[in-house]
Amino acid sequence: MPPHDPDITKLDDLTARRLAKLSQAPVDTRALQERIQAAWAAEQHRAAASFSSRWSFRAHHLAKVWGSLAAALAIVGLVGWLMLAGSSPAQAAPLAFSRLHKSLLSGQDVAQVISIQEANDMIAQQQQGLPRLPREIGPAVRGCCVQDVQGVIVACVVMEHQGQPVTLVVARGKDLCSMMGQQLTSHGRHLVAHEVEGVRMVMGNEGDHWLCVMGDLPTETLAEIAASVKF
């Protein structure tokens, strides 16, 4: 057992008394609480700012995605509308008549006639209610027939003008008249010109009659023929 040291004993007594006083003294924790609360508030603010930034980025990204989707749907809708419009008789008529013109020049299903009166008489004998051909026309008449084009019955005449074959197609109303081509006027009549698969054509109407003149002639010449038609 080590020898008793009076100095160590005295230090122990002083320490014990000091600790006893400290345990009885009131402790002010307000400053500590304020520091803790300030630190907690700062952390909450940082977390909220981070969340807001992430949400803003995601919202912006979602907005871009939805915007792209909406644009795609709009394009699809537009394409669908154009396809429907393109399938209508008025829009498809130039292509259909271009091919009809070539078929008529081949002589397929064309009856030989020498005048517009003979052509009208022959068409009238086929079926009542068919479109009548004009009573006046400039070029020499060579043949006629009746055709079904996209569900519309039309009367056709094969003619010759300036040594070139020309065809005239007549229908009732304007169901087959495509107004999206070149706009022109001849002898006071409003006409529309097209060129499809190498065939030039001029469309127009007089009253409730619609007509289309086609051939390998200048558009101006075809327009003069169309303007000379009288029903």
**Of 140, 81, 148, nearest to 114 (Cα)?**
140
For domain 89-228, say whether CATH 3.30.200.100 is its number.
Answer: yes
Report the alpha-carbon distance of residue 177 to residue 204 in Å, rounded.
Answer: 7
pLDDT band for position 224 (50/70/90)? very high
229, HSE (Cβ side, Cα atoms, 13 Å): 30
Q: pTM higher than 0.75 for the full model? A: no
73-113 tens-digit pLDDT = 444 343 343 333 344 445 557 899 899 999 999 987 899 99
> In the chain, where are the structural domains located?
28-87, 89-228
